[in-house]
Amino acid sequence: MMASVAAPLLEVRDLGVDFDIGRGQLHAVRGVSFTLHARDRLGIVGESGCGKSTVVLAMMGLLPPNAEVSGQVLLNGVDILAGGDSSMRPHRWCDISMVFQGAMNAFNPVRTVGDQIAEPIRIHLKASRRDADKRVAELLDMVGIPASRAARYPHEFSGGMRQRAALAMALACGPKVLLADEPTTALDVIVQAEILQLLRRVSDDLGVALVFISHDLPAVAQVTERVAVMYAGRVVEEAPVARLLTAPRHPYTAALLAAIPRPGAAATVRSILGEPPRLDTPVVGCAFAPRCPSVADICRITEPANTFDGDAVVACHRATPAGLPG
Amino acid sequence: MSAPLLELSDLTVHYPLRGAGIFSRAGHPVVHAVEGVSLTLEAGQIVALVGESGCGKSTVARTIVGLQHATSGQVIFEGTDLTRLRAGALRPYRRAIQLVHQDPYDALDPRMTVRSIVDEGLRIHQVPHGDRDAIVRRSLERVGLSPADSVLDRYPHQLSGGQRQRVAIAAAIALTPRLLVADEPVSMLDVSVRASVLELIDDLRRDGLAVLIITHDLAGAVMLADRIAVMYFGRIVEEGPAQQVMDSPAHPYTRALLSAIPSPDPAVRTVPDVVPGELPDAAHPPPGCAFASRCPVAEARCGEHVPPLRDLGSGHQAACVLPVPR
């Protein structure tokens, strides 16, 4: 069956992840849905523990055995989660690939970088050593590393170069979807800007759809076209990046924006007070209510449903089409 | 004018390279980590030392707190050169100068309760037993962990990243230091809690505490620092009043750092103002300006001599031979 032109490349439908933690269930991800076409770039932002990494690990089928995943991940219309690990395996790295958090520190120190990038090519694409080496040279060139460096060891690379090499490895088998989990978090600001540029270029040049996870909204805004904001396991707002940044409709999005220091602007940075809720007890009402400056009575009783408005969605009782509640 | 609280005078730190052990003679290769750094800090002042990984800023911090020997130069604290003191004479200064580490996940012993973490320094510095409980509680409440009873008997893994960093700061201020050296105090924290930890540090200055913040985040540094010193390749390349350095950066490297801060406006693409290049080899420093290899405005003469710091008026100085663009 041929997929029609408008059919999405990847569709995540009502994804949920519960962890069995012995004394009960931890609801890490609840009802997350999004759609990606080729070349689409989606950012997922939120604080530590909001479930953003769990979403992408679930999409890769890489969660530990105590995780219970519900919902669907449709790749070209086929649910790759349905058949367990054996149905996931042909897609992992080849169709959906990932740059892990701290990937630059994940290289094996006693093997050359080129050898490690070649490994998925030889295993998944069954390439000969010569073909794999050729492909490694292409990949390194694409991420801006001289191909002669393939024979070097990880400690001979700077942090930024190792992160580029990790990206080359993730792209080795020509994936259609690339998941990048905090790819720039531990990097210096200049190197970070270079990696963000590289992610944009790679997605444009190769037509790869990108999911970019970060707690850093400005970094996400530099790369993606849409942004989903997660809080306590749920997407509370998703919108085109310009709209989300200029007219946030969820108070949590507004609070994240207010926490960004900006050079030149007066020091009006505000932290978000309080802590995110515990996820091992069911959330009553809106999970953000205890920290929300616009909280109303209903927020503590009923969990807000998703409100769709054109190309945006928000889950807040107090949101108006115009923007934030007063 | 009274003497400054801390004065670094021509501070130089060289690390011997591998192979140069206890039998090494003069002439063995060394890594030039810190090269002729001079910096002053007044009581109650906050100074930010800004630069990329490997620029030597953490080595400066470690030398000030006595974790690293200075190869030459002086660390003058309240008129006494600490580099000349032996362990016994240094002890009161070890209490007066406290260090807060970058990673609150690593810095706290996972098997110690918050109470014993904050108490440890008091015990070591022989604070009378009867006073310690009150000091521990007061310190925790001073950093915003109140009531202290809510955290006293908890272990680090039960705390969020922001809370852990507050515990680390409480352990430091419990000893009533005059100088706090904070090495990247917020870089491991979520953006949403960074501002509140920086606000806390700002607030501590009301107790007369001076703070040296080591950071790679210029935008965050300007929020609270009175003065900013920018380091590159072991040297201070620009130093001055914080707002002035931000508004009219005089060194191309400072401008590069500013240009790399991701803009939260997706319409403004962040393109770092550097030419792709690597840091020079720290074992063989170049004869000229170390930034010349990445500098977008470098000229031939930049490679001839290391440019000295030039006075630009109102306490602002920069080490660049080129005229400051307006």
**pLDDT tens for residues B109-151?**
999 999 999 999 999 999 999 999 999 999 999 999 989 999 9
Residues in B closer than 8 angstroms to A241, CB to CB, are 266
Residues in chain A with CB shorter than 8 Å from the CB of B222 are 261, 263, 267
Residue A97 makes CB contacts below 8 A (sequence gap 6+) with: A170, A171, A172, A173, A175, A177, A178, A179
Separation in Å, CA of B170 to nearest CA in chain A? 19
Question: Any CB–CB contact under 8 A between B202 and chain A?
Answer: no
Q: In whole numbers, what is the pLDDT of chain B averaged over residues?
A: 90
Virtual CA dihedral for B234, B238, B240, B246, nearest 10 degrees? -120
Q: What is residue A4's predicted lDDT score, i.e. its pLDDT?
A: 45
Non-local (6+) Cβ contacts of B319 within 8 A are B235, B236, B237, B238, B251, B289, B306, B307, B308, B309, B310
d(CA A281, CA B28): 62
Instruction: Using DSSP, state whether A132 is helix, strand or coil.
Output: helix
Q: What is the structure's pLDDT at A2?
A: 45
- Burial (CB count <10 Å: 0-12, 13-18, 19+), residue B144: middle
Per-residue pLDDT of chain A (326 residues; tens, 9 = 90+): 444 456 899 999 999 999 998 888 999 999 999 999 999 999 999 998 899 999 999 999 999 999 999 999 999 999 999 888 888 888 999 999 999 888 778 899 999 999 999 999 999 889 999 999 999 999 999 999 999 999 999 998 888 899 999 999 999 999 999 999 999 887 888 889 999 999 999 999 999 999 999 988 999 999 999 999 999 999 999 999 999 999 999 999 999 998 887 765 555 678 888 878 888 888 899 999 999 999 999 999 999 999 998 889 999 999 877 666 65
Closest of A113, A106, A172, A188 to residue A138, by C-alpha: A172
Q: What are phi and psi of A152, to 5 degrees?
A: -90, 160
**In a mutagenesis test of the B interface, which of A269, A273, A280, A291 is the best target, namely the one with the most B β-carbons within 10 Å?**
A269
Whether the CB-CB separation of B5 and B43 falls below 8 Å is answered with yes
**Which residue in B has a C-alpha nearest to residue A144's C-alpha?**
B276
> pLDDT at position A264, please?
58
Say which residues have a Cβ less than 8 Å from residue B187's Cβ, sequence separation at least 6. B102, B215, B216, B217
Partners of A235 in beta bridges: A230
B192 touches chain A (CB under 8 A): yes
Which residue in the set B190, B220, B263 is minimally distant from A218, CB to CB? Answer: B263
Determine, for residues A272 and B222 on separate chains, whether the beta-carbon distance falls below 8 Å: no
Residues A206-252 pLDDT 10s = 999 999 999 889 999 999 999 999 999 999 999 999 999 999 999 99
Its pTM stands at 0.88
- Please name the amino acid found at residue A207: G
pLDDT score for B19: 58
| Predicted complex ipTM | 0.83
CB contact (8 A) between residue B191 and residue A222 = no
Q: Contact at 8 Å (CB) between B152 and B114? A: yes
CA-nearest residue to A193 within chain B is B260
At residue B28, does pLDDT exceed 80?
no
Q: Is it the case that residue B155 has pLDDT exceeding 90?
A: yes
Q: What would the pLDDT profile of B95-106 be if each residue is shown by its tens digit?
A: 999 999 888 888
pLDDT at B53 over 70: yes
Q: What percent of chain A has pLDDT over 70?
A: 94
What is the count of residue pairs from A and B with beta carbons less than 8 Å apart? 115
Residues of chain A found within 8 Å of residue B271, distances taken between Cβ atoms: 193, 197
CA distances from A51 to A32, A223, B52, B79 (A): 10, 21, 30, 52
Checking if the pLDDT of B264 tops 90, the result is no
Q: Are B185 and B213 in contact (CB under 8 A)?
A: yes
CB neighbour burial string for A56-77, b if at least 16 within 10 angstroms, e if fewer = bbbbbbebeeebebebbbbbee
In this complex, which of A194, A242, A269 lies closest to B195 when CB atoms are compared?
A269
B18 in reach of chain A (CB within 8 A)? no
Of A221, A272, A275, the CB nearest to B264: A221
Question: Among A222, A261, A275, whose Cβ lies nearest the Cβ of B270?
Answer: A222
Alpha-carbon span A23 to B96, nearest angstrom: 46
Mean pLDDT for B186-191 is 84
The reply to whether residue B52 touches residue A47, judged by beta carbons under 8 angstroms, is no
Beta-carbon neighbour count of residue B158 at 10 Å? 12
Q: Which residues of A touch B272 (CB under 8 A)?
A: 189-190, 193-194
Interface test with A, best of B189, B190, B248 (most A CBs within 10 A): B190
pLDDT at position B63 over 60:
yes
Contact A189 B223 (CB under 8 A): no
Nearest CA-CA distance, residue B149 and chain A, Å: 17
d(CA A241, CA B264): 10
Q: What pLDDT is attached to residue A26?
A: 92
